[in-house]
Amino acid sequence: MNLLVIDEAAQLKECESTIPLQLPGIRHAILIGDECQLPATVESNLSDEAGFGRSLFERLSSLGHPKHLLNMQYRMHPSISSMFGPYSFINVTGGREEVDDVGHSRRNMVEVAIVLKLVHCLYKEWSGSKQNINIGVISPYAAQVVAIQEKLGHKYKKVNGFSVKVQSIDGFQGGEEDVVIISTVRSNSDGFIGFMSNRQRINVSLTGLGNERTLARSGSVWEELVSDAKQRQCFFNADENKELAKAILEVKKEFDQLDDLLNGNSPLFKCARWKVLFSENFRKSFSKLTSVRTKKFVLNLLLRLSSGWRPKKKNVDSVCEKSSQILKQFKVEGLYVLCSIDIVKEEVKYIQVLKVWDVLPLEDIPRFVKRLDGIFERQTDDFISRCNEKV
């Protein structure tokens, strides 16, 4: 034997390549692989930084060693092989990345809920056609894979012609499914995405849902992906779909993450008649509420107010002349939500908005209103009149 052929050579550590090369009589070696795919797994960060996971294939390629590109493939039509095929990017806002109990992996339960809803929608579409369909759900984080598997359970196990496989991205390498859903998990204001910035890992997955704000700030190829999705008009906001928005709200309630809904762009208030602004005081007071029931009642009240509902009778005591014209209080579970109408500039015009100041027990209201008097006293009568709601 004088010829050695190594397939998937880019996944073989350089030191491991020396094993077959020691076979007696070997005069030629052919390495077949793709350095753009995932390399061998290296557990130690120190070894990884030292390049222990590098393959002989990658080393020779970087040194300019002659190589041949296999430019004919039969897995994909040329019209869609320019990138990786038709895809959609679903922007999931309001998710919260959490570290698992062990502290080594991450999960995002809002994305888990969206994945389950997408699989269910695909199942309903499949039920009408009965054509075989294979769905792959992948994520870079083991904790997310486990969370999706637990929620999915055995729901589709015994359904002939409809299969769902949940795997890590590394485990999916080389796989091929009709539909692939990737949950990127990461959702933070810093744009930090960890090893999801790895181009080889992205190359294996590249179909997905995630948080556009985080990925677009990551400075990685994900930024280009989000931009490309928008140019292709295949970028969608999850909360603009009624079913997906409902799934987001349900998981927020289940995991007591209602605080995340306190912004005007959340699924609760995004399409409301009135734009809602929340003060920092209200956010802090709301987060301190220990009763999930009370939180739900407060949100239900604000949802009604944002839709245009107003009580027929005024329930505000006059505290000072200016405040009595603007400030309103609404009783909820023994507490009072303090709101007013404010004026803000939006693009080239000014609009009325609902400003939520705080949620307090009755005895704390006079002290809080006294602090607001300083703000209201500086406003002109014209401003006060514009803040008054039209009947």
- Whether 306 and 235 map to the same domain: the answer is no
Q: What is the pLDDT of residue 210?
A: 55
Distances (CA, A) of 240 to 89, 90, 220, 243, 387: 13, 10, 27, 9, 30
- Regarding whether 274 and 149 lie in a shared domain, the answer is no
In Å, how far from its chain's centre is CA 251?
Answer: 13
- Distance between CA atoms of residues 90 and 357, nearest Å: 33
- Residue 71 domain-assigned? no
Could you give the number of structural domains in the chain?
3
295 and 366 part of one domain:
yes
Q: What was the pLDDT predicted at 234?
A: 83
CA-nearest of 30, 31, 37, 42 to 3 is 30
Q: Which of 46, 62, 78 is the last residue of a domain?
A: 62
Q: What pLDDT, on a 0 to 100 scale, did the predictor assign at position 389?
A: 60
What confidence score (pLDDT) does residue 172 get? 75
Residues 214, 96 share a domain = yes
Is residue 249 assigned to a domain? no
Return d(Cα 97, Cα 274) in angstroms, integer.
Answer: 30
Mean pLDDT by 10 residues, the chain (391 residues): 90 89 91 80 82 88 87 68 65 84 83 94 87 90 93 91 89 76 77 53 48 63 76 85 89 88 88 93 95 94 92 56 72 94 86 94 90 78 72 41
188 closest CA partner among 217, 209, 208: 217
Domain limits for position 223? 89-240
Instruction: Report pLDDT for 77.
Output: 67
Question: Residues 96, 234: one domain?
Answer: yes
| DSSP classification of residue 390 | P
DSSP-assigned letters across all residues of 161-194: TEEEEEEEHHHHTT---SEEEEB-----TT---G
The identity of residue 158, as a single letter, is: K
The answer on 352 and 269 residing in a single domain is yes
Cβ density class 362-372: b for 16+ within 10 Å, e for less: eeebeebbeeb
Compute the distance between CA of residue 223 and CA of residue 212 in angstroms, rounded to an integer.
Answer: 9
Whether 292 and 335 share a structural domain: yes
Are 93 and 213 in contact, with CB atoms under 8 Å apart?
Answer: yes
Reduced to 3 states (helix: H, G, I; strand: E, B; else coil), residue 147 is helix
